Amino acid sequence: MRVLIWIAVVFAALWGGYWFVGSTVVERSVAQWFDDQAAMGMTAKREDISVSGFPSRLDLTITGPELADPLSGWSWKAPFVQVLSMTWKPWHLIAAFPNDQQVRANGQEIDITSSKMAASVRVSPSMDVTLQEVVIEGHDILADSDAGWTVGAKSVVLALAPDTSDPMAQRLGLRIADLMPASNLAGLVPELGDTISSLHLDTILMFTAPLDRHVAETQPRLTGVTVTGLDLTWGSMKVRASGQVDRASDGFAKGQIDFQIENWRQIPALGVAMGLIRLEMADAISRGIEAMARAGGDPDLLKMPLIFADGRMSFGPVPLGAAPRMD
Task: Give one DSSP letter per residue of 125-151, joined into a string.
Answer: SSTT--EEEEEEEEEEEEEEETTS-EE
> Is residue 19 predicted with pLDDT exceeding 80?
no
Express each pLDDT in 57-97 by its tens digit.
888 999 999 999 988 889 999 999 999 988 878 889 999 99
> Is residue 259 predicted with pLDDT exceeding 80?
yes
DSSP-derived 3-state class of residue 279: helix
> Is residue 197 predicted with pLDDT exceeding 70?
yes
pLDDT of residue 87: 80
Express each pLDDT in 204-248 by its tens digit.
999 999 999 898 899 999 999 999 999 999 988 999 999 999 999
The answer to whether 210 and 232 are in contact (CB under 8 A) is no
**Spatial distance between the Cα atoms of 264 and 271, rounded to a whole number of angstroms:** 12
Q: Which of 121, 176, 174 minimizes the C-alpha distance to 143?
A: 176
What Å distances lie between residue 226 and 18, 164, 181, 241, CA to CA? 45, 15, 25, 11
**Spatial distance between the Cα atoms of 215 and 209, rounded to a whole number of angstroms:** 8
**Spatial distance between the Cα atoms of 95 and 82, rounded to a whole number of angstroms:** 5
